[in-house]
Structure formats: C-alpha cells, structure tokens
Structure 1
Amino acid sequence: MTTRSSTETLNLDDLTDPVLTETQRQILDYTESQHVTFDIDEMLAEAVQQAGSFDLADDDGFADRLAAHVAAIESDTGLRQLIRSSLRARVIRKVRNRLSLTDLLKRYPEIASIHIERPLIVVGMPRSGTTHLVNLIAQDRRRRALPYWEAEDPIPTLGQGPDVFGVDPRYTRVKAEHEALMASTPYVAAMHDRFPEAIEEEVELLDLDMAGYVLEWHARVPGWRDFYLGLDHVRHYGYLKKILQALTFLRGPRTWVLKSPQHAEQLTPLMTTFPDATVAFTHRDPVAVIQSAITMMAYSDRLRRTSIDPDWLVDYWSDRIHRLLTACVRDRDLVPADRSVDISFHHLNGNEMPVLTSFYDLAGIDIPPKVATRFQAYIDDNRRGAKGRIPYDLRRHFCVEPDELRSRFGFYFDRFDVRPEI
C-alpha cells in the first residue's frame, strides 16, 4: 500500500459527482451482474454450517432483531450489489460469531465468572478523536484492546486454528479485505484507516446481538435507527459484557480499553454494565464532525450507491449528531466527576500527554517511563494529516453555511469547551 505524504492534499473535486477510476468501473461492472438476495433462512444455514453449531441463544427476541436488520437493508433501494454482498456477508459473520460464542460459553461456563474490572472507556461523537485516543491508550501494553481484525470476527470457529506460520485465519481474512478496500477507494486511509491491527469499536460486538447503530454507516436506514433507539440497551450491553469475558478468556486477562460513539447516547446502559469504568469524553465542533462524516460517506458511496444525494447526507447526519449530543448532554452527569474527563478536540493536536496523564490519574493508574515513551512515539508518528490531507469543504461540496448548521447546537457549546472550527 502506498504511503502518502503528510503534505499531500487529496483531490475530492468529484466528491458528489464521482468520476470512477478504471479499477472502480471494473469492480462495479462485475459486481452489478451478481444479484444478491437476503433470504434469512439461507443466511442462517450458512452461518450454522460455518460454526458447526445451531444454538442462537434466542431467548430475548434475537430473531426479531435480525429480521428488522435485514428488512432495513432491503428497504434501501439505492444500494449497489457490491455493498449488498458485503452486508450479506456481514450478517452471516455476525450470526456465525453468535453461534460460536454460545458454544464456547457452554463448553467453558467459567467464562461467566470473569470480571471486567475498571475499564477505560473513550466516548464521543464520530470524527471527534475517539479513534486516535483509544489507539494511543492501547500503546500501554497493560491494557487489553480490540484490534479491527478481532472486532470483525471475535470468536474463532471451532477447529480453525493458526496457519503453518502461526497467523490467525481471521487476521488473514481481514487483511485481504483491507487491501481490497485500499485498492478500490484509496482515500479511505486518510479519512479513517481500519487496517487489521488498528484498535476499533466494540460496537461491532454489539451486532452479534443485532443491537448496534453501525448499519447506519453502511446504508440509509432511518427505520433501523428508530428500531435500534427503541431497544432495551441495558440488556444488550450485558451481552457485550459476555463477549468481552469470552475475549478475555481467549486472549488474556488484562484491563480493557474500549471506545464507541454509540456510548454517547447509551450512557445509562454503559454505566449500568461497567459501573467502575473511567470515561474520557471527546468533544468537537459538531459542524466539523458532520462535515467530516458526510465527506467520508459521500466518498465511500461512489462504490456503494447508485447516486450520492448530498442533501440527504446533510439532513440525516446533522439530525443524527443532534440526537446523539442531546442524549449525551442529558446524561453526562451519570458518569461521576471523579471518574471522567472531558477532552476537547483542540487538545488532541500533538500534545496529548497532559490530557492522557490527567485521565490516568483519575483512573489511579501510573505511567511508567517505558509506557510514556510508547505514548510519545505514537503521538509523533500519528499527527493529523499524516496520511494525506482531505479538503473538507461544507460550502463547496454540500452548499451549507457552517454558522447556519451550528445554530442547532448551542446547547452543546454551552455545556462543554468546544471551539468552532469552520
């Protein structure tokens, strides 16, 4: 994969009216000829065959959530067959992992007694520095984090061990998928590079229970948003804890570092499930968040959708971020002040050690010299724009005035130290 210079500004002149590369045209020419269907019985049969198990542990309506998830995908008539194929494979993978988890818990009941003690949790809007911060904290090898390859495929299939070189087949599979993504949409690395070792969100784990908001990032599914928001998330975060217990059993008993923007609107279930957590909230200008998110979405949609529709992206994601922040401001005090810290985006600017030290002090954790050295090395190697600079431009690409959009978020600026960026 080509490494981009930090001084390179990437060209997004065709963001909302894409001009496809020859590689992209070839991909779509092939995949559009392959019609993808979402027959639930067929997908379940494939998952059962892969897992070698058939117990879905459906004691709380999983089948209904699965049906709602699939129906939401089918309701989006603008998806190309390429993304439909990817989403179908994702559903099968989540169900297979659920089957494998149920089987693992039956064979090793002691997993249920594993304590998930005093996790460090990063919470904030998407595109607000949560990924940067959790990857920074994960440089502390005393922490147990969730790399992307494991988030995508958390529970090994019974009988599938490492290859002759000792490499986990789940890692190999995710690495191949990442390389294919970089070949087809290379600017993704500068926006949000999910390479296999990168630390990612445990919200992917929630979709083993079909209870996460992730589908909103793959398709235009307001029906799923409403269904997801109506769920009893205390129950589903309890299921997330089961998965973390299993992962601790499989790969080592260390204190977890977790992160997800979804937690910002689910603070009650988060703190009910992890009452001794120490939480770092990241905060950023919502207009910059929306601009960044919809630019990334529009770029990805050149292969995912038959049309971009920038107005839809503005309307949906400005509303979505508003909903998330409304819940976050409402529930912020559920996390005790002596176990939480608010970190503004402008503090994640290459001088993160002071805010990181404050966070560790709250958690009662020391930072030995070797760990401090690892932290600083990561900061130095991952400065903003290191993989190319994206010319984000809300006015030019989406015909929106930043101040007009920002006027919806006065309640958020009143509560936290947030600086307008645009």
Structure 2
Amino acid sequence: MTNAASTPRETTATHRDRLVAAAIEAAGADDFGADTWQEGLDIYIESLVDSAQLNEIGVGVADDGIVADLANRLRIEAWRKEHPAVGEQEIRQPIIIVGQPRTGTTILLDLMAQDPANRAPLTWEVERPVPAPQTATYTTDPRIEEAQAQFDLVNSFIPGFSSFHELGAQLAQECVRIFTGDFKSMQHSLQFEVPAYNRWLLHEADMSDGYRYHRRFLQHLQSEHHAQRWLLKSPQHLWTLPELMAEYPDAIVIQNHRDPLKVIASISALGASLREMTTEHFEVTRLAEQYGEDIILGLDRALEARSNKVFDTGQGGRVLDIRYQDIRHDLVGAIGRIYDQLGWDLTAEAESRMRAFLDAHPGDQGGSLKRYTWAQTGLNEGELRERAKAYQDYFDVESEPLD
C-alpha cells in the first residue's frame, strides 16, 4: 500500500481521502454520521508523517488501523439506520474502571467480567462489531476465530508481548479501542511517536464528542445481547473525568492507584515493545519523557476532579478508590470488598469463575519482555517524586523501589 509516511509529497488531505475511500469500499457504505472524527484523523495523519519515522511494517500498521476504524464506524452507522431501535438502548449505571496504566486495571476488568451480571465488551466484538453480536451465538460467532488468528500473529512479531499484556479475542477490551473510531484515543500515542496528536488529544480535543460516540458503540453492542450492567475500563478516562461523568452521570467509577514512577517505567516498556516494531528510530527516553509529563497531568486532573466534586452528580454516580498495594496479593478478595461497598452479592459461581480465570491467566511473567531500568528512562526521580507528592499524599499511595 502506498503511504504518505513514505511519500512526503502526499498532503494530509490526500492521504486522508485515500484512506477514507478505502474504508468506504471495505464497508460498502459512505455515511460516517457526525463529523467529529475528522479533526483528530487529520492531526493524527500529519503527526505520523512528521514524527513517527515509520518503517515498512509501521506504514502498514498505521494505515490499516485507520481504514479498519473508519470502516467499523461506517458499518455501525449503516446498521443503526437499518435498525433504528438501537438508538433507544439505555446505558444504565455502568461500572467504569479508571486509573494510571499498569495499575492492575486490566486484571480487575478481566476478573469482574467473569461475573455473569457484568457485561464487558470483548475484543472480538469491538474489532468486528457488525452485525451486532447476538446472545444465541455470542460464544460461537465465527468472528471470534478470525480475531484470535490475528492476535496469534502478535507474538510472532513481538515475542513475549502477550505475557506482558495478554491479548485474546474473548478477553475484555478497553474503551481506548472504542475511542479510535472517533480518533480521540491514547492508543495512537502509545503505539506511535505522534507528539502533536498527543498534545491535541490531551489539551484541545472535545472529548464530549468522543463519549457520545462511545455511547453509540455500546448501544450497538448491547442491542441484541443484553446484560445487567456494563463493565468498562480504560486509563484514558483519568484525563477526562468531567466529560465521562457528564455522559454517564450514574456511573460507578473504580479508580486504581499506584506509585506513578513505577507506572511511568512500566508503560514505557509496553510502548517500547510496540514502537520498536514499527520504526528504526526508537529511543526509550522520548517515550519516558512523554509519559513523565502525561501521567502527572492525569493525576493532577484526578485531584481536580475530586476538588470539583465531579462524582457528585445527584444521579447515583460514585467513586471507589483501590490501591495497588491492597490488591496485588488478593485480587478476588479485593473484588469482594468492592462488591460489599456497592451492596452487591458476589455469588459463589462468580467467585469460582474469577479464581479459575486467575489460575489460567497468571499475567505478566518476569523477564517475558524487554524492560528498562529507571536510569535508562533518563528521568529525574526527585523531580517527578515531588510533582507526584500531592497525589500520593491524597490517596495514601506508597512509593515503590525503582530498579
């Protein structure tokens, strides 16, 4: 595929139009709904060309990802036209897990998803949402096998990645993948070096539009397969808590907490595994510098949200705080305490399924993927520790040893 990343003479508009045309051809539809995706896509494409320094694999990954996200948006809009009742779906009191990356949010999502009362969006249905998933075929849909085959290739390109951050068609997927359909997703700035896009996303983008698209996506998924309540997760929500609660004022938010400096080192390692595949010009110091700023910004905004009482919506919204140091040795016990606080019953069946999942998915294995010492990040520990102090003091988050 010809790509602007390798042909600088192609303008951003021409590049965008080419990918849009490919998406329209793939989807067999041309109505994208609201035009809220266009600004983010243009800035993303321009930033890819200016900064990402993609190799041949990176060019393909970036362009194919854009086309897939646009095509899914088109398919969802077309389905909604044919099935107008989708727009009448109500999203009631979702559980939304937020917090810095690498704080246990993923395993908490996966375990709570074992409770049949909770409906987490699964990876296969987020990647291939049309036709709307149906209850009768929810565990046998052929799209499951198609998605899994794609994930099985990941370890071929990035040995050890799935042990560091497990992938699977029937595992729960996070909201960051849904936001890609409106091109307001932190996934892009983790996967590629796109600083202009990242700045726009964190400081200028109207995430109210992103959350409206998020709701439409959930309405689509639940239209033919219901559950008692949605279970959702993404670290990205931490940066946009006011917009989150404006869209879902009755949401129950679970915020995970961990030493921010450990988070910065860990997310830098995860991003490194992705970027090293797509560019020959990777430097972990640039990635660590990005997250050294972004993580602190997210924590500052979380503190501001508390000060501004964004969870006091008067519609049932509330927040529960979970410290990493309190859950790492007994995850199922921690979930039991969450249920107690919410006044819910953790059934014997749900607890058994959680323990079985934990046995089958032990998570990150030491040494499974390249790590970086704190010194290799090039960051100043004392400076960042001081900037994180207000957050750590407020939530009683312990500092962990840095290696």
The structure 2 residue matched to 1:209, chosen from 171, 179, 182, is: 182
Contact kept, 8 Å, 1:294 with 1:313, in 2: the verdict is: yes
Note the C-alpha offset of 1:348: 2.3
Task: Give 1:369's aligned amino acid.
Answer: A
The structure 1 residue matched to 2:389, chosen from 406, 410, 417, is: 410
Cα distance in 2 for residues equivalent to 1:157 and 1:351: 36
Contact kept, 8 Å, 2:111 with 2:357, in 1: the verdict is: yes
Query: Which 10-residue stretch deviates more, 87-96 or 370-379?
Result: 370-379
- Give the aligned partner of residue 3 of structure 1: none
1:199-238 alignment to 2 at 5 Å? Answer: 199-229=172-202, 230-238=204-212
Cα distance in 1 for residues equivalent to 2:311 and 2:84: 32
1:252-267 alignment to 2 at 5 Å? Answer: 252-267=226-241
User: What TM-score do the two structures reach when normalised by structure 2?
Assistant: 0.87
Note the C-alpha offset of 1:395: 3.6
Cα distance in 1 for residues equivalent to 2:372 and 2:52: 28
Task: Give 1:309's aligned amino acid.
Answer: E
1:13-412 alignment to 2 at 5 Å? Answer: 39-58=15-34, 60-156=35-131, 167-169=141-143, 171-229=144-202, 230-332=204-306, 333-336=309-312, 339-383=318-362, 385-386=364-365, 392-400=371-379, 402-412=381-391
Contact kept, 8 Å, 2:132 with 2:223, in 1: the verdict is: no
Distance 1:272 1:395, change over 3 A: closer
Note the C-alpha offset of 1:389: 5.4
Note the C-alpha offset of 1:234: 1.9
Note the C-alpha offset of 1:116: 0.8
Cα distance in 2 for residues equivalent to 1:235 and 1:401: 36
Same amino acid, percent of matched pairs? 26
- Give the aligned partner of residue 21 of structure 1: none
Equivalent pairs counted in the alignment come to 384
Contact kept, 8 Å, 1:339 with 1:362, in 2: the verdict is: no
Note the C-alpha offset of 1:300: 3.0
Q: Deviation digits for residues 313-364 of structure 1, max 9, x if unmatched?
A: 2211101111111111111342249832111111222312333123223433
Unpaired segments of 5 or more residues in structure 2? none
SS of the equivalent of 1:280 reads strand
Unpaired segments of 5 or more residues in structure 1? 1-30
User: What TM-score do the two structures reach when normalised by structure 1?
Assistant: 0.83
Contact kept, 8 Å, 1:149 with 1:197, in 2: the verdict is: yes
Note the C-alpha offset of 1:84: 1.8
Cα distance in 2 for residues equivalent to 1:268 and 1:219: 27
SS of the equivalent of 2:196 reads helix
Note the C-alpha offset of 1:251: 2.9
Cα distance in 2 for residues equivalent to 1:396 and 1:111: 52
Contact kept, 8 Å, 1:146 with 1:201, in 2: the verdict is: yes
Contact kept, 8 Å, 1:93 with 1:153, in 2: the verdict is: no
Contact kept, 8 Å, 1:211 with 1:231, in 2: the verdict is: yes
Distance 1:335 1:380, change over 3 A: farther
Note the C-alpha offset of 1:104: 1.3
Cα distance in 2 for residues equivalent to 1:395 and 1:233: 33
Note the C-alpha offset of 1:86: 0.8
SS of the equivalent of 2:393 reads helix
